Amino acid sequence: MAKATGSDSSLLALKRRARKINRRLGELYPYAVAELDFTNAFELLVATVLSAQTTDIRVNAVTPALFARYPDPKALAEADETELQELIRPTGFFRAKAASIKALSTRLVDEYDGEVPDTLEELVTLPGVGRKTANVVLGNAFGIPGITVDTHFGRLSRRFGWTTAKDPVKVEEDVAELFEPKDWTPLSNRVVFHGRRVCHAKNPACGACAVAALCPSYGEGETDPEKAKKLLKYELAPGREELHARMMAAETRAQLRAAGYGLEA
């Protein structure tokens, strides 16, 4: 393991601390789920491919029209590429992404009878699909445990001392040793939530962090509690207490949007 520095006892201590962090994040974000909107595995697969180099919020803004026009792999495989590019243009890199989702849809139709496969080995052979995308789909659409290593997860895993690796596959391997498989998917969602809201790449809100006492990197960011609170984003941001309360009460993103709440940072 990239993070191993000594005896079995030090690894045991690392596991205990890591699992305490996971439990605390679970208390902080009981509503943590994949933040891409989807109703089935195909929609999540396409949305995750579109999410590269952009935000989930921007993807969620384009997928309703996209899936209304192309509701299944067959329809997307037969899509006019120019029209498809225009629908997904706001996500950036729209030409490459259009080619990828059209090609992966063709593969689904030709090789999987229009169904999304439910194994990592098969998913990563699809155009535009890597381990991160495959684990998102496996964990959130099929309930098959997977660790999703995006930029947030990698950054926080290193700050928490779970790994020293930067290669996503190695990060995944290191973190997997610390947790039971049943925890992998919810852990991934919680860590990503925390990275987006509190533990930012630049100037993390250390003084307002619920896991500060367990974090070996405490002090890399703002430690003054009042100043740190001003750095919080999304539903944790100052002035959004009502939104946070409704999320804690398990209202869905669709319900919140219908009620007029903006979910952006």
Q: For residue 132, indicate whether it is catalytic.
A: yes
Residues 241 and 261: beta-carbon distance below 8 Å: no
* Structure tokens, 206: 């250390």
180 is in an annotated binding site: no
Instruction: Quickly list DSSP for 159-181.
Output: HTTS----SHHHHHHHHHTTS-H
Q: Where are the beta strands (DSSP E) in 76-193?
A: none
Whether 227 is catalytic: no
Tell me how far CA of residue 243 lies from CA of 228, 247, 259, in angstroms: 20, 6, 10
Q: Is 221 annotated as a binding residue?
A: no
Q: Which among 150, 224, 229, 233 is annotated as catalytic?
A: 150
The count of C-alpha atoms lying within 13 angstroms of the C-alpha of 29, restricted to the half-sphere facing its C-beta, is: 26
133 is known to lie in a ligand binding site:
no
Residue 72's contacts (CB-CB under 8 Å, 6 or more residues apart) are: 42, 114
The active-site residue out of 3, 97, 102, 132 is: 132
- In the chain, count of helices (H) and strands (E)? 14, 0
Dihedral sign of CA atoms 199, 200, 206, 210 in order: negative
Return the structure tokens found at 224.
């003054």
User: Measured between alpha carbons, how far is residue 227 from residues 83, 218, 233 in Å?
Assistant: 47, 15, 13
Cα 175 from Cα 160, distance rounded (Å): 11
Question: Does 174 count as an annotated binding residue?
Answer: no
Which residues are annotated as part of the binding site for [4Fe-4S] cluster? 199, 206, 209, 215
Question: Which residue numbers are catalytic?
Answer: 132, 150
Which residues are annotated as part of the binding site? 199, 206, 209, 215
